[in-house]
């Protein structure tokens, strides 16, 4: 016992940190921390673009990383509810607990969509705080970037100017890019789409596209043949132009729908790393818009 405490003290004393250790739950917010902090950030991203962030488990490797983190950057709005609370509590790291400066939730700083008025699981796996996939509206990314830069500067005061400068450079480039994307995406306005899961509401809302249905009968419930058939029947009266899915969702249901309805099934990168082109946040939106444009052509 005394031995244990001795080790704890020795290691805590040794690990005078050189970098800000960031534990990002999802690739998009990890990429943003990298844009702001550059090489001052030691980044660990808990999931990749091929993993459904709802369904990750509290793996030993995640606990080991959370133990050492100075800042946890989460999507929030209950996206990580199945694993992150446990990882935080069992990490023995007081700096990253809820309510501490070392815990940052992106969803807190944006206007969330699809906030349910009735919270009942009869509607599937609904999130009481609204749809958590906020990053696909680039204006949200900018809002989060400002708050995240401030938080990073607060936690690592020695490098505060680096983070503020990193944010300023990113924001300038990002605003130019938003203008470009909005111009490029003009033909997408008013296009009706089906989605596998409600992963794209912020994207479709931003671009003025119309999300007219989901392949999942309820959020988090797998597509059933009955539900797909009813969507197909509805195509007669309310046609969708394409079916959207993320890199981590099975392609079967959207391929089926696309084949029967004669519309393209579109895989969008959804997050950084979801396609080879989506190497960073800029690439994510560039590629997303190119893929959407290709589908309406």
Partner 1 sequence: MQKTFVMAAMLAVASTAQAADNADLAAIRAQIDEMKKAYEQRIAALEQKLAQAEARGTSTPAQEVAEPSQPALAAANSFNPEVSLILQGQYKNMKDVPERSITGFFPAGIYDQGNGAITGISKRGFSVDHSELVLAANIDPYWRGQAIVAMVDGSAEVEEAWFQSLGLGGGVGLKGGRFRSGIGYLNEQHPHMWDFADAPLMYRAMFGDEGSYVQDGAQLKWLAPTDTFVEIGTEAGRGAAFPGTDRNRNGRGAAAAFVHVGDDVGIAHSWRAGVSYLTTKAKEREGNLEDIGGVQTLGRFTGDSATWLADFVWKWSPNGNPQYQNFKFQAEYFNRREKGDLLCSDMDSAHPTACGGGVNSLYRTRQSGWYAQGVYQFTPNWRGGLRYEQLDSGQRDFGANAANLMLTDYRPKKTSAMIDYSWSEFSRVRLQLAQDKSILGIVDNQLTLQYVMSLGAHGAHKF
The residues of the shown chain that bind partner 1, judged by CB under 8 A, are: 1, 4, 7-9, 11-12, 15, 47-48, 50-52, 54-61, 63-65, 67-68, 78, 81-86, 89-95, 97-99, 107-108, 110-115, 121, 124-125, 129-130, 182, 189, 205-209, 220-222, 248, 250
CB closer to partner 1 out of 165 and 267: 267
Give phi and psi for 194, each to the nearest 5. Answer: -105, 150
Q: CB of 20: closest distance to partner 1 in angstroms?
A: 16
CB closer to partner 1 out of 163 and 248: 248
CB closer to partner 1 out of 47 and 254: 47
Judge whether 65 and 46 are in contact, CB under 8 Å: yes
What sign has the CA pseudo-torsion 49, 206, 286, 33?
Answer: negative
CB closer to partner 1 out of 114 and 280: 114
Q: CB of 10: closest distance to partner 1 in angstroms?
A: 11
Phi-psi region of 78 (alpha: psi -120 to 50; beta: other; left: phi over 0): left
Judge whether 243 and 265 are in contact, CB under 8 Å: yes
* Sheet arrangement for strand 20-24: 41-45, 20-24, 71-74, 103-105
- Name beta bridge partners: 211: 193
Burial of 267 (0-12, 13-18, 19+ CB in 10 A): middle
Q: CB of 147: closest distance to partner 1 in angstroms?
A: 13
CB closer to partner 1 out of 78 and 156: 78
Q: CB of 122: closest distance to partner 1 in angstroms?
A: 11
Q: CB of 166: closest distance to partner 1 in angstroms?
A: 25
């Amino acid at each position: 016992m005394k031995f244990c405490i001795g080790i704890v003290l020795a290691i805590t004393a040794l690990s005078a940190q050189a970098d800000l250790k960031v534990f990002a739950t999802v690739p998009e917010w990890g990429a943003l921390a990298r844009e702001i902090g550059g090489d001052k950030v030691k980044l660990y991203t808990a999931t990749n673009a091929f993993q459904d962030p709802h369904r990750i488990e509290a793996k030993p490797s995640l606990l080991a990383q959370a133990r050492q983190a100075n800042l946890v950057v989460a999507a929030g709005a209950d996206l990580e509810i199945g694993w992150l609370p446990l990882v935080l509590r069992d990490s023995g790291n007081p700096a990253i607990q809820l309510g501490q400066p070392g815990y940052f939730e992106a969803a807190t700083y944006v206007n969330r969509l699809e906030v349910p008025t009735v919270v009942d699981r009869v509607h599937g796996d609904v999130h009481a705080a609204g749809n958590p996939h906020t990053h696909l509206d680039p204006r949200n990314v900018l809002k989060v970037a400002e708050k995240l830069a401030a938080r990073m500067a607060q936690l690592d005061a020695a490098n505060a100017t680096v983070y503020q400068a990193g944010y300023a450079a990113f924001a300038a480039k990002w605003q130019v890019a938003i203008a470009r994307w909005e111009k490029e995406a003009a033909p997408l306005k008013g296009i009706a789409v089906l989605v596998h899961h409600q992963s794209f509401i912020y994207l479709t809302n931003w671009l003025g596209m119309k999300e007219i249905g989901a392949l999942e009968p309820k959020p988090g419930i797998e597509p059933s043949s009955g539900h797909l058939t009813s969507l197909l029947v509805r195509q007669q009266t309310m046609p969708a132009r394409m079916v959207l899915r993320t890199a981590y969702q099975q392609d079967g249901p959207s391929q089926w729908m696309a084949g029967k309805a004669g519309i393209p099934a579109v895989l969008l990168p959804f997050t950084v790393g979801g396609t080879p082109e989506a190497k960073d946040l800029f690439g994510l939106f560039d590629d997303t818009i190119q893929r959407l444009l290709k589908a309406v052509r």
